Amino acid sequence: MKKTAFITGASSGIGRATAVALAAAGYQLVITGRRCERLDALAQELALTPTHVLTFDVRERAAVDAAVAGLPADFQQIDVLINNAGNAHGLGPIDSGDPADWDAMLDGNVKGLLYVSRAVLPLMGEGGFIVNIGSIAGHEAYANGNVYCASKAAVAMLTRGMRLDLLPRGIRVAEVNPGLVETEFSQVRFKGDEARAAGVYQGLQALRAEDVAELIQFMVTRPPHVQIAEVLILPSAQAAATTVRRT
């Protein structure tokens, strides 16, 4: 029987590319997000891979629990959990920040990761692997990034705490920290302002979602005694969160 990977935020960007990469590595999939039609299209695209779609908002604990509780029998043993769902909302000084944006980031990036992990962990056995998608932003603050950086710093510390707490169960826990990846991330951050979003990646070769997915695929397919615990992955044109080389 195939191993099962459970991927949050698979309707776009890094999560979607990770679903494709893990399908290619022989996993069957549980793919989740809020945009059902995109997840259904991905499941169709991966026709040779048994794929189950779950639609929920990671911020809604009852919805997370109900979705995971409703998994069909063939998908009730989870070998790999990719906690990827998340976004930045806004970019501005703390004293003019929008509390709705703060809620979206802290509830989605932090509490959502907790809710999903809590729901999935009972389905995970010895040898399981959890990959949390953090960010370079969780390891250095940058101007106007305040709450997004804080949310990803929380992911960094939760990853370490989870690794300690899940050691007795033989479950590995890792954090992948990307720099600039060209996805829908900046469109979401800038609330649909396409020009501003495109400007983030102008004049440099950002990472592609597939670059991060390839790394995740490598990490989760190591032998059971190997735990790649933390990786920073940057475009060659990036040296720090806001230090980039544009040509």
DSSP structure string for 34-74: S-HHHHHHHHHHTTTS-EEEEE--TT-HHHHHHHHHT--GG
Nearer to ligand NDP, 54 or 78 (CB): 54
Does 33 bind ligand NDP (CB under 6 A)? Our answer is yes
Does 49 bind ligand NDP (CB under 6 A)? Our answer is no
Out of ligand 8X3, ligand NDP, none, which partner does residue 50 contact, by CB within 5 to 8 A per kind?
A: none
Question: CB 156 → ligand NDP: shortest distance, Å?
Answer: 12
Does 133 bind ligand NDP (CB under 6 A)? Our answer is yes
Instruction: Kindly write out the interface string for residues 179-198 of this chain, putting x where it contacts ligand 8X3 by CB under 6 A and - elsewhere.
Output: -x------------------
Does 137 bind ligand 8X3 (CB under 6 A)? Our answer is yes
Question: CB 134 → ligand 8X3: shortest distance, Å?
Answer: 8
Furthest-apart CA atoms within the chain: distance in Å: 53
Distance (Å, whole) CA 242 – CA 247: 15
Nearer to ligand NDP, 25 or 231 (CB): 231
Question: CB 243 → ligand 8X3: shortest distance, Å?
Answer: 10
For residues 175-204, which are near ligand NDP according to CB under 6 A?
178, 180-181, 183-185, 188
For residue 211, what are the contacts with CB-CB under 8 A and spacing of at least 6?
A: 181, 233
Contact yes or no for 12/38 (Cβ under 8 A): yes
DSSP 110: I
Question: CB 53 → ligand NDP: shortest distance, Å?
Answer: 11
Answer for which of 4, 28, 32, 135 binds ligand 8X3 (CB under 6 A) is 135
Question: CB 169 → ligand NDP: shortest distance, Å?
Answer: 25
Ranges assigned E (strand) in 50-197: 51-55, 80-83, 129-133, 172-178
- Report the run of H or E that residue 199 belongs to, with start and end: helix 194-200
DSSP 207: B
Q: At what angle do helices 112-120 and 146-166 cross, to 10 degrees?
A: 20
**Binding region for ligand NDP (CB under 6 A) out of 53-61, 164-172, 214-222, 234-242:** 53-61
Residues counted in the chain: 247
Count CB-CB contacts under 10 A for residue 159: 24
Contact yes or no for 190/235 (Cβ under 8 A): no
115 is catalytic: no
Q: Where on the chain is the footprint of ligand NDP (CB under 6 A)?
A: 9-15, 33-35, 57-59, 84-87, 108, 112, 133, 135, 178, 180-181, 183-185, 188, 209
Q: Where on the chain is the footprint of ligand 8X3 (CB under 6 A)?
A: 135-137, 145, 180, 241
What are the catalytic residues? 148
